[in-house]
Amino acid sequence: MSEIATQRLQADPEGLARGAEILRSGGLLAFPTETVYGLGGDACNDRAVARIYEAKGRPSFNPLIVHLADLDAVKALVIWSDLAEAAATAFWPGPLTMVLPLREGAPVSKLVTAGLDSLAVRMPANPVARALLTEFGGPVAAPSANRSGRISPTRAEHVLDTLDGRIEGVLDGGRCDVGLESTILGLAGKPTLLRPGRIGIETLSEVLGRPVMERKDREQISAPGQLSSHYAPRARVRLNAADWQEGEARLGFGRTEGDCDLNLSPSGDLVEAAANLFEYLHRLDADGAATIAVMPVPHVGLGIAINDRLSRAAAPRD
Ligand code: TXA
Ligand code: MG
């Protein structure tokens, strides 16, 4: 990947305006929250979200947290509930993320949710984060702003240590207070603690007025297509298709000899392919084919995450 000149922006009106402009143009901007620095991109822009994964060098597509400045904006994206209201009243803005059912027609990229029908939302308390989100005026997807496998950044310099030259900008807001990622509360089903954080399970249970379950974690990795936290198409998936068979839905990549139904990237661009991946799997699945055949995707860069997801989708199911 070619180097980008990463702009260092101060948390003043000029820096905030420039930061919002970077997000609007589909660029990547690291910004401070009270937990850790986030690597932000426009959550409604498939390509911006694909670039988040590319910049992090993540070998897989985990769903991302979407950051918003106000409650009305949150409610436009997810199905709200009394429990969500109780948690929001107690902890927002603050270091709590809630996973809620995705509202139908919500404009967020399918790559943000990794194809799931739930969405992780968070309203940060950090004033620089809030000012940026207000200035930008839309949902911002942001995992921690570090290369995959490195420690989470709590200063702008930490961000630059691993992402300099890979992102358009970093908004310097000094040090993060909490230094640990937000607590994640699952409210798409029974209240479940999906990730521990500063806000503990007892406090959450008290506020919700009912017990919050611990996640029975890392179970059933042997049947990855079945994991409830992973999207898998209904159709069977056939990988590395060298030719098409009768009746299959055909998902192409790069230049193709014959026809395909959809092409992840006719020019063979992996960022474009990642941006289209979940959207196209959903579309072909909705057409009702028994099998989706997928042409080979090169196993480099973002192709590793794409292939990880495709092989989960193709894994045998019970
Ligand atoms: O403190 C934080 O939360 C930081 C700052 C930047 O806000 N962000 C952060 O984001 O840690 P990220 O993308 O690294 O965390 C995503 C976590 C993943 O572990 C993922 O599994 C979970 O949130 N998650 C996101 N969407 C989910 C969903 N729909 N269902 C279940 N888990 C979800
Ligand atoms: Mg992280």
Residue 126 CB burial class (10 angstroms; 0-12, 13-18, ≥19): buried
- The residue with tokens 């308390």 is 125
Ligand nearest to the CA of 66: 1
Residue 261 has pLDDT above 80, yes or no: yes
Residue 98 has pLDDT above 70, yes or no: yes
Ligand nearest to the CA of 152: 2
Q: Which of 10, 5, 38 is nearest to 133 (CA)?
A: 38
- Which residues, at least 6 apart from 133, have a Cβ–Cβ distance to it below 8 Å? 67, 68, 69, 124, 140
DSSP 8-47: EEESSHHHHHHHHHHHHTT--EEE--SSS-EEEEETT-HH
Average pLDDT, integer, range 235-259: 91
Report the mean per-residue pLDDT for the chain: 92
C-beta of 144 in contact with ligand 1 (< 6 A): yes
> Tell me, what's the pLDDT at 231?
79
Span from the CA of 145 to the centroid of ligand 2 (angstroms): 7
> Tell me, what's the pLDDT at 63?
95
Average pLDDT, integer, range 128-144: 98
Q: What is the pLDDT of residues 70-86, one digit of tens each?
A: 999 999 999 999 999 99
C-beta of 263 in contact with ligand 1 (< 6 A): no
Indicate the pTM of the whole model: 0.91
d(CA 122, CA 130): 11
| Amino acid occupying residue 117 | D
Could you tell which of 33, 34, 52, 62 is best to mutate to test the pocket of ligand 1, judged by most ligand atoms within 8 Å of the CB?
62
The alpha helices in 106-221, defined as continuous H runs, are: 127-136, 156-163, 201-208
> Tell me, what's the pLDDT at 242?
87
Cβ(56)–Cβ(146) below 8 Å: yes
- The residue with tokens 């358009």 is 168
Q: What is the pLDDT of residues 202-226, one digit of tens each?
A: 999 999 999 999 986 544 444 443 4
